């Protein structure tokens, strides 16, 4: 975070490459707006984090996604039913499964 004009009158979030990634604002918390993707509501952002989780461990990611799409633990009658439930995951569910996959790395 960079403060403009000595005193923290305006705050900016600058990437390591020197690019403005947030918004210039007098409130430092609002300066972060837009700087970090919202993985739970933005489908494109959740797909990005899903891709990373699949790269780390596709088996672990699929297990975690099954848990968040099927919290009751019911048994699926076949692989097609399981696949359909995973394909119908919301952005939030994909983000949760990716978080669990990436946070439990050994």
Q: Which residue carries 């797909």 as its tokens?
A: 47
Question: What is the distance between the alpha carbons of residues 63 and 93, in angstroms, rounded to a whole number?
Answer: 12
Report the pLDDT value the prediction gives residue 42, as an integer from 0 to 100: 81
Q: Quick one: average pLDDT of 60-65?
A: 91
Question: What digits encode the pLDDT tens for the residues 6-41?
Answer: 555 666 666 667 666 655 656 655 555 566 677 778
Question: Domain locations in the chain?
Answer: 1-36, 43-103
In whole angstroms, what separates CA 1 from the centre of its chain?
Answer: 22
Report the pLDDT value the prediction gives residue 79, as an integer from 0 to 100: 81
pTM of the model: 0.62
pLDDT band at 1 (very low <50, low <70, confident <90, very high): very low
């Amino acid at each position: 975070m960079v403060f403009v004009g000595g005193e923290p009158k305006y705050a900016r979030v600058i990437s390591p490459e020197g690019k403005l990634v947030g918004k210039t604002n007098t409130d430092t918390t609002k300066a972060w707006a837009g700087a970090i993707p919202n993985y739970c509501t933005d489908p494109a952002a959740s797909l990005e984090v899903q891709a990373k989780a699949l790269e780390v461990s596709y088996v672990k990611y699929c297990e975690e996604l099954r848990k968040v799409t099927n919290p009751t633990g019911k048994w699926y009658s076949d692989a097609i039913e399981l696949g359909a439930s995973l394909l119908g995951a919301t952005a939030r569910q994909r983000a949760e499964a990716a978080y669990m996959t990436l946070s439990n790395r050994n």
